[in-house]
Amino acid sequence: MTTLTMAKALNAGLRKALAAEPKVLLAGEDIGKLGGVFRVTEGLQAEFGRDRVIDSPLAESGILGTAVGLALRGYRPVVEIQFDGFVYPAFDQIVSQVSRIRFRSGGTQPMPIVVRIPYGGGIGAIEHHSESPEAYFAHTPGLKVVTPASPSDAYWMIQQAIAADDPVIFFEPKRRYHDKGEVDLDQQSADLSLFSARVVKPGTHATLLTYGPMVRTCLEAAMLAEQEGRSLEVVDLRSLSPLDDAVILESVRRTGRAIVVHEAVGTLGLGAEIAARIQQNCFYELDAPVLRVTGYDLPYPPSKVEDAYLPDLDRVLDAVDRSLSW
């Protein structure tokens, strides 16, 4: 086992994919010589050359449009959107073209594009640098949407995404880039499929359903709750589209309570869809309403007050109190 940060684990996963398949190439703003704003692609251009790790113009629509052409010619492009809030110039390309081509062709034309997007807050950034736009893409048929929460998952999931024949929106929780964890670089294959959820902490009193940057927050909340005799199960969704209903519903049926936690705004967020599925399938097993702990329904605030916006331990534990007192 090797201890890596999430950023280094992603770098290792991209390196392994580039080495294994000549048709894999990377493109994005400043990803080559600089190695990306977060240094996720550091050293890859020097190792694989400028034709496979490409510094693109500052034009997200052009990056995605070029990726479509490459995919149609049999390549497997992995494109980086430098920050979450910069994806919108490419939004039309993604939802109007990338998501539909395989369906339009009756499944005969693969569209193996991976769109890497650092997302979420907590880094003290300026406007358009701390967005959580995952619901837009999870709402779009034809797109797969995933997000790792640990270095090990980051290492394996990026490789699995690149190997997929469908377009994958790969959200990377930027404030977890420097979190460390063990990664087995010698293991031959991943433990889970790309679209599987994982129970990261078993529990009996309530289920915390979360993903990406909030997994660590929920684990910390569960540890504090244990000091008060409350056993919380934490489920890392990992895949936002498709959702792993089997793991979600099994956990909620076991605990009888569910709390969904994410940074994105609450209205029409992933939590609303998850709550609806739980209500439809676990109505008679529920001991309390499904609760949501989310960002507030307003634009992401200035960095000096982002701590008041983001879900934290107090807000998660308050929801646990409300659920258990029902």
- Same structural domain for residues 170 and 206? no
Q: Is residue 190 part of a domain?
A: no
Q: Is residue 189 part of a domain?
A: no
Supply the range of the domain harboring residue 165. 2-183
Q: Residue 244: which CATH number?
A: 3.40.50.920
- Same structural domain for residues 210 and 98? no
- Same structural domain for residues 215 and 95? no
Contact 199, 161 (CB under 8 A): no
Q: Is residue 176 part of a domain?
A: yes
Q: Is residue 119 part of a domain?
A: yes
- Same structural domain for residues 174 and 222? no
Domain count, the chain: 2
- Same structural domain for residues 277 and 134? no
Q: Residue 11: which CATH number?
A: 3.40.50.970
Which of these three, 183, 217, 245, is where a domain ends? Answer: 183
- Same structural domain for residues 115 and 54? yes
Q: Is residue 163 part of a domain?
A: yes
- Same structural domain for residues 113 and 159? yes
Report pLDDT for 269.
96
The pLDDT mean for the chain works out to: 97
What tokens does 314 get?
A: 């107090």
Query: What confidence tens digit (pLDDT) does each residue in 158-190 have?
Result: 999 999 999 999 999 999 999 999 999 999 999
Query: What confidence tens digit (pLDDT) does each residue in 27-81 have?
Result: 999 999 999 999 999 999 999 999 999 999 999 999 999 999 999 999 999 999 9
Q: What 3 state SS string does the chain have?
A: CEEEEHHHHHHHHHHHHHHHCCCEEEEECCCCCCCCCCCCCCCHHHHHCCCCEEECCCCHHHHHHHHHHHHHCCCEEEEECCCHHHCHHHHHHHHHHHCCHHHHCCCCCCCCCEEEEEECCCCCCCCCCCCCCHHHHHCCCCCEEECCCCHHHHHHHHHHHHHCCCCEEEEEEHHHCCCEEEECCCCCCCCCCCCCCEEEECCCCEEEEECCCHHHHHHHHHHHHHCCCCCEEEEECCEEECCCHHHHHHHHHHHCCEEEEEEEECCCCHHHHHHHHHHHHHHHHCCCCCEEEEECCCCCCCHHHHHHHCCCHHHHHHHHHHHHCC
Which of these three, 149, 183, 217, is where a domain ends? Answer: 183
Contact 261, 200 (CB under 8 A): no
- Same structural domain for residues 67 and 174? yes
- Same structural domain for residues 92 and 178? yes
Of the chain, the percentage scoring pLDDT greater than 90 comes to 99
Which of these three, 183, 216, 245, is where a domain ends? Answer: 183
Segment 109-121 mean pLDDT: 97
What are the residue numbers of the active site? Answer: 129
- Same structural domain for residues 169 and 79? yes
Q: Is residue 45 part of a domain?
A: yes
Report pLDDT for 301.
95
CA nearest to 129, candidates 79, 72, 86, 192: 86
- Same structural domain for residues 212 and 174? no
Q: Is residue 219 part of a domain?
A: yes
Segment 192-215 mean pLDDT: 98
- Chain centre distance of CA 35: 21
- Same structural domain for residues 48 and 119? yes
What is the pTM (predicted TM-score) of this model?
0.97
Which band of pLDDT confidence, cut at 50, 70 and 90, is reported for residue 296? very high
Q: Is residue 17 part of a domain?
A: yes
